[in-house]
Structure 1
């Protein structure tokens, strides 16, 4: 009986040990799986965003570094506002010291070696000034049109220069007259057969005179063809002649300290602007179609005058008295071009 009682507990203990072993193995296996699972999650999330981890299922991640500095390329595209550093000339690799916000080389200031020589700079400034000031009639440009003729009488016209003893003159078409900008310009006129004449613009040829058309005095037209021709195809270009000795200035009739009109006469090159000196500095006056520059409130009337030609040259004249309708010599002249 004792043996039987002892045998039963042993059997039960044996069965308990037999089941405990597998259970322990199962528990250990579960712990290993959990550990491996945790390790896998940690590896998938390190060094890249979740999107990159998901994308890694489609292709394997590189095992070697492909970047220029030995770093694994990021799956995130570079920001367009922060360009990558430009490579250094010596190695071609990314410069670690270059800031992400550095400006491209094209935006940098030019070096001193790129500065033109004084003579070249002067020519560039002259060309730029001529292009900016010339208006419709530009130096060095050949224009096509037609020549007609008119009776110039004493040579006076819309430019208000007054009578002229030299009748080699012309009226500029309304468009190219450009509110008297063409007044005083010297123009070389040529025909297809080689005949030519130089005329000074003293008048305006109103519409329907077309752009490019010049209405020559009878005397000037006769240098090119017989007056019976009527209309003659021509080309013409602006000149900067050597004839004029000095410019003159004239105040318009009725000018005073309260209002004045100022005109320049005998200038070698077309006048682009006229300024008077006031208490606030130089003041540019408005040009009229009858070739006077007006100061409607009298500012600067009787004071220094600064005249600019289409090449950008400026001449300052002082000592011109406020004497209406009197031509006063300045003894200065624009340079020849």
Structure 2
């Protein structure tokens, strides 16, 4: 039988063996770590300092990248914005959406430009020339207004007569001595009457100078006088529904055009040097008539029959300017 001391000996050797195994295991693990990570301690430091995935997207990028990013959604440049100076201009009185001068009255202005339909003779302009005189007879002339008792009349020089556009115009004539007279243009003074020249009735010339003077320097300008008269319309002898000539008489301001209603619109008639507006094919003859003065005021006359060589009064008159 073994002694008790023999039974405890195996136990002591086991106690000593366990710590030895633990030490051996630790050494083995350390060896493996050294093999796998030869840098040992520096590996732990690098792991601590390694950047986290995606950290660059959260940190501010360099300025060039920031500019590149913003350029992908550019803001409108100031010069790209429409400027008022580049806008299309509002169409003039002469555009499609604006009323034409024939459809409205133009506010009078002191400057000559206030008469958009005027020809050579314009309001607000003083013309220079000479005055002569002639025997007016019964007062009729190239304008074909017919005989008249009005002795304060004038024949306009050929240039300013302008194919009868001067017919019916009221003119204030002034002499160098300060005398003045108002006359109405009823006739034409043919060449060699020079531009600016007026051939007055003998009675009108006498208001400025003695008839013995024969020829005097003058200035003259267009008037728009007050009057109680109204405009009359006359069809020329021989007029019918197939051909007609139409004339306006007694208008305060020079006449710029005469139109007839043709179908659904207005047709402007050509003007002759004897102061009638002709419809060669009869279009509009016997229908509504529209007369327009040099200021753009338009008056419509309706209900007039074709009555050749008869002066038919209306209740209309152009505004004073």
Is this a same-fold pair by TM over 0.5? yes
C-alpha spacing 1:297/1:153, structure 2 compared with 1 (3 Å) = same
Matching of residue 316 in structure 1 with residue 266 in structure 2: no
Q: CA deviation at 1:294?
A: 0.2
**Selected match of 1:242 from 218, 226, 231:** 226
Alignment of 1:253-272 (within 5 A): 253-272=237-256
Query: Could you say what secondary structure the match of 1:199 adopts?
Result: strand
1:247, 1:124 → 2: CA distance? Answer: 20
Matching of residue 195 in structure 1 with residue 179 in structure 2: yes
**Selected match of 1:221 from 198, 202, 205:** 205
Q: Contact 2:106/2:295 (CA < 8 Å) preserved in 1?
A: no
Counterpart of 1:142 in structure 2 is 126
Alignment of 1:31-180 (within 5 A): 96-98=75-77, 102-108=81-87, 123=107, 130-180=114-164
1:122, 1:245 → 2: CA distance? Answer: 21
Q: CA deviation at 1:243?
A: 2.2
C-alpha spacing 1:140/1:100, structure 2 compared with 1 (3 Å) = closer
Q: CA deviation at 1:126?
A: 10
1:335, 1:124 → 2: CA distance? Answer: 10
Query: Could you say what secondary structure the match of 2:107 adopts?
Result: helix
Provide, for residues 118-168 of structure 1, a one-character-per-residue CA deviation record: whole Å limited to 9, x for no partner: xxx963899798442110000111100000000001100000000010110
1:289, 1:110 → 2: CA distance? Answer: 39
**Selected match of 1:183 from 149, 159, 167:** 167
C-alpha spacing 1:322/1:157, structure 2 compared with 1 (3 Å) = same
Counterpart of 1:332 in structure 2 is 316
Counterpart of 2:263 in structure 1 is 279
Q: Contact 1:256/1:322 (CA < 8 Å) preserved in 2?
A: yes
Provide, for residues 4-46 of structure 1, a one-character-per-residue CA deviation record: whole Å limited to 9, x for no partner: xxxxxxxxxxxxxxxxxxxxxxxxxxxxxxxxxxxxxxxxxxx
Matching of residue 306 in structure 1 with residue 283 in structure 2: no
> Which one scores higher on RCO, CA 8 angstroms, separation ≥ 6?
2
Q: Which runs of 5+ in 2 are unaligned?
A: 1-62, 69-73, 91-104
1:109, 1:279 → 2: CA distance? Answer: 35
Counterpart of 1:21 in structure 2 is none
Largest Rg, 1 or 2: 2
Q: Contact 2:287/2:303 (CA < 8 Å) preserved in 1?
A: yes
Query: Could you say what secondary structure the match of 1:275 adopts?
Result: strand
Aligned length: 239
Q: Which runs of 5+ in 1 are unaligned?
A: 1-63, 72-94, 112-120
1:263, 1:244 → 2: CA distance? Answer: 20
Query: Could you say what secondary structure the match of 1:157 adopts?
Result: coil
Provide, for residues 50-84 of structure 1, a one-character-per-residue CA deviation record: whole Å limited to 9, x for no partner: xxxxxxxxxxxxxx99xxxx89xxxxxxxxxxxxx
Query: Could you say what secondary structure the match of 1:277 adopts?
Result: strand
1:333, 1:247 → 2: CA distance? Answer: 6
Report the TM-score, using the length of structure 2 for normalisation: 0.69
